Chains A and B, each alone.
Chain A
Amino acid sequence: MSARGKAGLSWRAWTLAGALLVIWAVFFTATGGTFASARNLALLARQMSVTALLAVGMVLVIVTGEIDLSVGAMSGLLGAVATIATVKAGWPLAAALASALVLGAALGLAQGTIVARMRVPSFIVTLGGMLVFQGTLLGITGGISISPGDAFLRIGQAYLGKAAGWAIAGALAAALLLVPARASGTSRGRRVALAAAILAFTALMNAYAGIPLPVLLLAAVAAAFSTIANHTAFGRRLYAIGGNREAALYSGVSIERNVAGVFTLMGLLCGVAGVVLTARVGSATSDAGRLMELDAIAAAVIGGTSLLGGRGTVWGALLGALVMASLDNGMSLMNTEPYWQPILKGTILVAAVAADVAGRRPAR
């Protein structure tokens, strides 16, 4: 990871973690402790999973200096495609899920190619894509909601067995603590902290019903995307393109290929998110995923991603998604009128970026 990333993460991580603690403290007090119950925290983790899946991909898109407004509509569409494939066409579940992923990657590649090759701004391409996907979704569902079978629903609603949870957490913690760190790798202290966090999280989730499957999926996807961002040539090139497009071009980086690539990856992730969304909600509906692109962008930005490109981390986006989901969850628990949720989320979004800008200024 670059020095910028590390420095940015520490300043960001502290303010963000501080803000999260304040939010949690407020909800804890206001709900008489219900907010911090194991049951509610498991619910919260599951609630954030779809937004967070999209936010994890959105970070890379924004880091490249682009934007994808179509992810909400595309997720809704792909969830419906997988549902229809199992329910109406009778495809086996695996084939139906694969079709959602493949179609997502193809739609992403198509959008990315228009952006990269024809130089149409991504804002426009994906705004158009959003409308097209919304219309298609309405067309294939016919405006009625379609429920997938139990096996499908389990993806969004089941819990990992407690023993299996402990096994996975234990293996990860052991790997972090025992496998020798390489010179350029994560420091010992951070590995210990991460191992402790994994074990604590597992204990918390197991105190209720175990780790929710979508959360496990999210953790795997986030780890994969963080690795792509920091440890692949593709990922580092995305940061270079977003940091200085011309310098990247002059260094021999193919802007076209990498921009098309990041949109393809985002499309693939929309397939995953769409399936989880449909399974969690219990049915494919004609307005599924609507406005989720904005939640994903907000989560990435709250998590420290710069809309100017070149700066952002996957883990920051996860924290951002957690902040957003906490606000939704806490306010529902408090029985606040629902209209307060977007008002508060919007305010927090602007405040987070304002604080970041103010915090960075003296350093420049």
Chain B
Amino acid sequence: MALLELRGITKDFPGVRALDAVDLDLEPGQIHALCGENGAGKSTLIRILSGYYPGGTSEGTIRLRGEVVRFAGIAEAERRGVAVIAQELALVPDLSVAENLMLGREPVRRGFIQWDRLRAAARDALARVGADFDVDRPVRSLGVGQQQLVEIARALDKRADILVLDEPTASLGERDAQRLLGLLRGLAAKNVAAIYVSHRLEEVFAIADRITVLRDGRAVASAPAGDWTPARVVAAMVGRPVSTMYPRPDPPRGAESFSVEGWRVADPDRPGRFALDGVSFSVRAGEILGIGGLMGSGRTALLASLFGAARARVSGTLRVAGRERRAPFRAPSEAIASGVALVSEDRKRYGLVPGASVLENLTLPTLRSFVRGVLLDDDARAEAARRPVEALSIRTPSLAARVADLSGGTQQKVVIGKWLLAKPRILLLDEPTRGIDVGGKAEIHEIICRLASEGAAIVLVSSDLPELLALSRRVIVLKQGRPAAHLEGPSATPEALVAAATGSA
């Protein structure tokens, strides 16, 4: 009998089907790898399995040891033995290792914590993952790899027999990564099963017993690891022909508009290391340059640092409209003044003031241009705001509507629209169609092509490979913050891109 059996798991978000009838089996002690592009549905599946999306908010059945379960929340999933080790570690940085390990289960007598028992229990738990560091240290002082061990130790101490690991090695160095893989193999021998999500194919092949590939919310193939080759996994992940429905931008004719050389961004979490290093490129007016790579490969850090929004030291040479700047932009306001605009990948966080109206959001970057004397010319402002609403067909009941009440695609158009008013010469687009339904995507593709044909230089980051390859003639692929490939013309295929991004070439 399978330890875990998922049948027909389907999950809809407004306008998007994230998972479509996914089946998955897990045997005791098995390590089952989940592969797929960004947005294929891996994270959604994990969230359903872990109770993050409570039972009833998705369709399909989950059977645990033969019994149908519906987790009301993460706590219940943990109680039944399913523990998630997420990318964002769920530890309290300023509490000690021991307190974190026993959080919510502190041994108590007459209302007081029994520190000796708590430390002893914590040491036992750490020993089970082969770690022996001081349990009184604050978690903050540990490296990422050690923190991960604390999380795994905590899960095992709660008698988890299914570990769900989401990109566990993404932020680990080589040695820590190898240690983690060794630990998982040891645990598997003790009948602890794991669902292992990773983009790093070499790891997947090193550790997995079985590999399932997700694509566009479907489990397209599942087989024992021995039946797969890295090339076949990549083919299954990409799997669809590049659609001919994408608009093809005109070939660029303009002069160089924007270029960087030796671009380097410090890693705020790892002093002395770089989130991005050795990146150089140049974009001409009217050109769309694609930036490919996996999540965490440095794509977002690249755009944010170009826009002056990095929270870390940035160095390198930046040329805007043929003129070399003395230093990278220190704030977005500087970048905007030089004609640079950024459509961020996280529009709720960086792109919009959700409680404010469409009008307020559209005119925020250009407020100064509506000042007459000391007051704002409200009529001119409303008239200006109507232009992007029409040009982009922003479907809003009125300029006064709150953007929080609009659909995702419409919100994204508001973000693009506010930059139309600023008339940028250089447009940085980070995942401009993420979370947007098919129709909305096509409209945004049209807009991107139109802006390019009007002479904007565009840098496009996208996890949607067909979109990236159709819109940009050249693609730079990043891997762990370094340029891994420069694809152009016939060499720019989804397979080549995935191979370069995962390092399986």
Contact = CB atoms under 8 A, between A and B. Distances in A.
Interface of A: 2-4, 6, 182-185, 227, 231-233, 236-237, 239-240, 243-244, 246-254, 310-311
A247 B333 contact: no
A236 B336 contact: no
Contact of A3 (B336, B382, B401): B401
A246 B355 contact: no
A248 B353 contact: yes
Interface stretch (B123-131, B360-368, B448-456): B360-368
A227 B375 contact: yes
B398 interface: yes
Interface in B467-488: none
Nearest to A237: B367
Contacts of B374: 232
The 9 closest A-B pairs by CB, nearest first: A3-B400, A243-B353, A252-B336, A184-B378, A233-B367, A252-B333, A2-B357, A251-B365, A244-B353
B400 A6 contact: yes
Interface in B383-398: 398
27 contacts: A2-B400, A3-B398, A3-B402, A4-B355, A182-B378, A183-B379, A232-B371, A232-B375, A233-B367, A233-B368, A233-B376, A240-B356, A244-B354, A247-B349, A249-B309, A249-B331, A250-B307, A250-B309, A250-B342, A250-B344, A250-B351, A252-B337, A253-B333, A253-B364, A310-B353, A310-B355, A311-B355
B219 interface: no
B163 to A, nearest CB: 34
Contacts of B349: 244, 246-247
A231 B352 contact: no
B178 to A, nearest CB: 37
Contacts of A311: 355
Nearest to A244: B353
B332 interface: yes
B353 A240 contact: yes
Contact of B375 (A3, A231, A244, A246): A231
A183 B418 CA distance: 22
B359 interface: yes
B281 interface: no
B350 interface: yes
B376 A249 contact: no
B370 interface: yes
Given A243-B354, A247-B350, A2 B360 contact: yes
Interface residues of B, number: 39
Interface of B: 307, 309, 331-333, 335-337, 342, 344, 349-357, 359-360, 364-365, 367-368, 370-371, 374-376, 378-379, 381-382, 398, 400-402, 418
A250 B308 CA distance: 9
Contacts of B353: 239-240, 243-244, 247-248, 310
Given A3-B401, A252-B333, 19 more contacts: A2-B400, A6-B400, A184-B378, A185-B378, A231-B376, A233-B367, A233-B371, A233-B376, A236-B364, A237-B364, A239-B360, A240-B360, A240-B364, A243-B354, A247-B352, A250-B342, A250-B350, A250-B351, A252-B337
B216 to A, nearest CB: 30
Looking at chain A's contact residues, the main secondary structure is: helix
Nearest to B374: A232
A236 B418 CA distance: 15
Given A243-B356, A250-B344, A232 B364 contact: no
Contact of A2 (B352, B359, B367, B382): B359
A240 B402 CA distance: 13
Contacts of B350: 246-247, 250
A231 B382 CA distance: 13
Contacts of A251: 332, 336, 364-365, 418
Nearest to A245: B353
A227 B375 CA distance: 8
A201 B251 CA distance: 69
Most buried by B among A2, A237, A250, A252: A250
B309 A236 contact: no
Nearest to A7: B402
B406 to A, nearest CB: 12
A249 B382 CA distance: 22
Contact of A236 (B342, B352, B360, B398): B360
Contacts of A310: 353, 355-356
Contact of B382 (A184, A239, A252): A184
B151 to A, nearest CB: 28
Contacts of B360: 2, 236, 239-240
Contact of A182 (B333, B342, B344, B379): B379
A240 B344 CA distance: 17
B394 to A, nearest CB: 15
A118 to B, nearest CB: 16
A310 B360 CA distance: 12
A4 B357 contact: yes
Nearest to B342: A250
A163 to B, nearest CB: 32
Nearest to A311: B355
Contacts of B400: 2-3, 6
Interface centre among A232, A246, A248, A251 (most CB of B within 10 A): A251
B370 to A, nearest CB: 7
Contact of B378 (A231, A237, A252): A231
Contacts of A247: 349-353, 364
A232 B367 CA distance: 9
Nearest to B381: A184
A125 B382 CA distance: 38
A138 B92 CA distance: 44
Contacts of A248: 353, 364
Given A2-B357, A183-B382, A232 B376 contact: yes
